Amino acid sequence: MKTAIEPGISNRPSLRLRITAAAESIARGGHPWVFAQSVRQQNRPGATGELAVIFDRADRFLAVGLFDAQSPIRVRILHAGKPQPIDHLWWQQRASDAFALRQSLFDPQTTGFRCINGENDGWPGLVLDQYDTTRVLKLYTAAWLPRLDETADLLKGEGRLVLRLSRNIQKQALDDFGLKDGRILHGAALNGPHLDTATSGFIDSLSTRSGERVRERGLSHPVPLDGPVIFLENGLRFEADVLRGQKTGFFLDQRENRRNVEALARGRSVLNLFSYSGGFSLYAARGGAASVCSLDIIEHALAAARRNFALNQDQPAVARCRHETLQADAFVWLRQNPEQRFDLIVLDPPSLARRESEKNDAITAYAKLIEASLARLNKSGILVASSCSAHVSADEFFSLVRATAQKSGRKFNELQTTRHPADHPATFPEGEYLKCIYLGSME
């Protein structure tokens, strides 16, 4: 039996750290990060990926975590409180805890969801998303790289496991471990009906990326995984570009807001700003929207949106809906097209503040987007405004939207606000990024 996920670091005393008093109390309070500048003492240089044990001022065990020699987040805490061996059983338990939480959340109509949400599930800097029979393991810290084999073994499931690497660790992964973003760690490097069950029954009517008809290839000849996999979300088919797409290929965190938009869309003209692959657009169409415009700055995201519409033509409301895609910078387009009006506008920009210093600019940018979107709402129109910047708190964002609505001089009803869905738990402030507010125009 394996004793621990502990990469070949032997004959060395364990890495022992002491940290500042402030950092001690933050760690005791359950926060999962210890920053480099909080480390007061270290018994020896640490290697990225090894376990670091943190002792308090009275020399008692405080916490144990993953050391990262390069990152400003020097230790990502795995366990705090009573001393605890971090062995194979412990990791197994962490994995089964995360899977157990998701087990009862979804019916067979939803085969895409998050299995592990980083720190918030006790796996700091690691995300695991499921898309039908394909799992995507995305690493945000190099500390996982020396532990990859054992980690992948624990998390691989029955099907395929794809490795994705955040941009900041790609060079290190290649130089030190020969690992490339998009590597298939387990399972077939092939796409076939036996692998992707969401496609069964309709795959024969699809085209592959190269334009060949799958029907002509024959269902018994799987095609290489050189493109997206298809999964179900509330009965809608979507593709996830697990090899090259943003995040792990799809924005799973907006599932519930998309469902809310479906319920609000009947008969409406819809503008989906920052649409990516048309997640909100498809739900609006199924909800009976008369027309949907998906706007994004990236053409291949819009091409994916068109393919996602094509995948769902068996749904009468989707087939009836007029869908157009528009490649544009949303900020510029809103400025240049003041006359166009819509009954429902979805506003879901990328994170506008990636660091604290960008927060004020982000708030100014949000205010512009919200003001311009409100001005384009028809009478009785609805704005669904979302933010995924952790540096702008939910309270700050909601206040900004309310204040901007008030300034507009029109009357708006606040329909609801939402936060994180259950498969994306947020257990510490920096982990809490998603918020969304729904406003209905009264005039």
Residue from 296, 382, 404, 412 touching ligand SAH (CB under 6 A): that is 296
Binding of ligand SAH by 308 (CB under 6 A): no
Among the listed residues 119, 233, 241, 348, the single contact to ligand SAH using CB under 6 A? 348
Q: Does 301 bind ligand SAH (CB under 6 A)?
A: yes
Stretch 310-339: interaction string toward ligand SAH, x if CB under 6 A: -------------------xxx--------
Residue 192 or 245 having the CB closest to ligand SAH: 245
Nearer CB in complex with ligand SAH: 33/280: 280
CB proximity list for 5: less than 8 A, separation 6 or greater? 86, 88, 91, 147, 150, 151, 154
DSSP lists the bridge partners of residue 139 as 126, 165
Long-range contact list for 328-337, CB < 8 A, 24+ apart? Answer: 328/295, 328/297, 329/297, 330/273, 330/274, 330/295, 330/297, 330/369, 331/365, 331/368, 331/369, 333/295, 334/273, 334/368, 334/369, 334/372, 334/373, 334/376, 335/372
Residue 209: φ, ψ to 5°? -60, -35
Question: Smallest distance from the beta carbon of 298 to ligand SAH, in angstroms?
Answer: 4
Residue 326 Cβ vs ligand SAH, minimum distance, rounded to whole Å: 9
Provide the token pair at 195. 């692998």
**Among the residue ranges 23-31, 122-130, 291-299, 335-343, the one whose residues contact ligand SAH (CB under 6 A):** 291-299
Query: How many of the chain's residues bind ligand SAH (CB under 6 A)?
Result: 18
Cβ at position 112, least distance to ligand SAH in Å: 11
Pick the piece of the chain touching ligand SAH (CB under 6 A) from 84-92, 110-118, 184-192, 297-305. 297-305
Contact 154, 138 (CB under 8 A): no
Residue closer to ligand SAH, measured from CB, 274 or 309: 274
The answer to whether the CB of 379 falls within 8 A of the CB of 443 is yes
Mask: binding to ligand SAH, 133-152, rule CB under 6 A, as x and -?
--------------------
Give the range of 28-36, 178-186, 343-351, 424-432 binding ligand SAH by CB under 6 A: 343-351
Cα Rg of the chain (Å, integer): 23
User: Least CB distance from residue 408 to ligand SAH, whole Å?
Assistant: 22
Position 235, amino acid: G
CB of 289 to ligand SAH, least distance (A): 15
Of the residues 298, 365, 415, 426, which one makes contact with ligand SAH according to CB under 6 A: 298
Half-sphere exposure of 327 toward its Cβ, with a 13 Å CA cutoff?
A: 8
Q: Would the CA dihedral through 191, 193, 195, 196 be positive or negative?
A: positive
Q: Is 181 in the site for ligand SAH (CB under 6 A)?
A: no
Query: Using CB under 6 A, which of 91, 113, 131, 274 touches ligand SAH?
Result: 274
In contact, 34 and 77? CB cutoff 8 Å: yes
- Choices 54-62, 96-104, 269-277, 393-401; region in contact with ligand SAH by CB under 6 A: 269-277
Among 297, 326, 365, 415, binds ligand SAH (CB under 6 A): 297
User: Contacting ligand SAH (CB under 6 A), which of 335, 350, 406, 419?
Assistant: 350
Q: How far is the CB of 402 from ligand SAH (least distance, A)?
A: 22
Region binding ligand SAH by CB under 6 A among candidate stretches 139-147, 220-228, 274-282, 415-423: 274-282
CB of 182 to ligand SAH, least distance (A): 19
State the nearest-atom distance from the C-beta of 254 to ligand SAH, in Å.
Answer: 4
Q: Is 23 in the site for ligand SAH (CB under 6 A)?
A: no
Q: Which two tokens stand for residue 302?
A: 């819009």
For 75-113, give one letter per residue: b (16+ CB within 10 A) or e: bbbbbbeeeeebebebbeebbeebbebbeeebeeebbbb
* 280 near ligand SAH, rule: CB under 6 A: yes
Identify the bridge partners of residue 116 per DSSP, sorted by sequence position.
128
Cα→Cα distances 78→38, 281, 348, Å: 17, 39, 32
- Give the integer Cα–Cα distance in Å for 231 and 165: 22
Task: Give phi and psi for 91, each to the nearest 5.
Answer: -65, -40
Could you say whether residue 279 binds ligand SAH (CB under 6 A)? Answer: yes
Residue 342 touches ligand SAH, criterion: CB under 6 A: no
User: By CB under 6 A, which span of 214-222, 293-301, 336-344, 412-420 interacts with ligand SAH?
Assistant: 293-301
Within 188-257, strands assigned E span: 190-191, 223-224, 229-233, 236-240
Place of tokens 């498809």: 282
* Least separation in angstroms between CB 62 and ligand SAH: 38
Count of CB atoms within 10 A of residue 429's CB?
10
Residue numbers at the binding site for ligand SAH (CB under 6 A): 251, 254, 274-277, 279-280, 296-298, 301, 329-331, 348-350
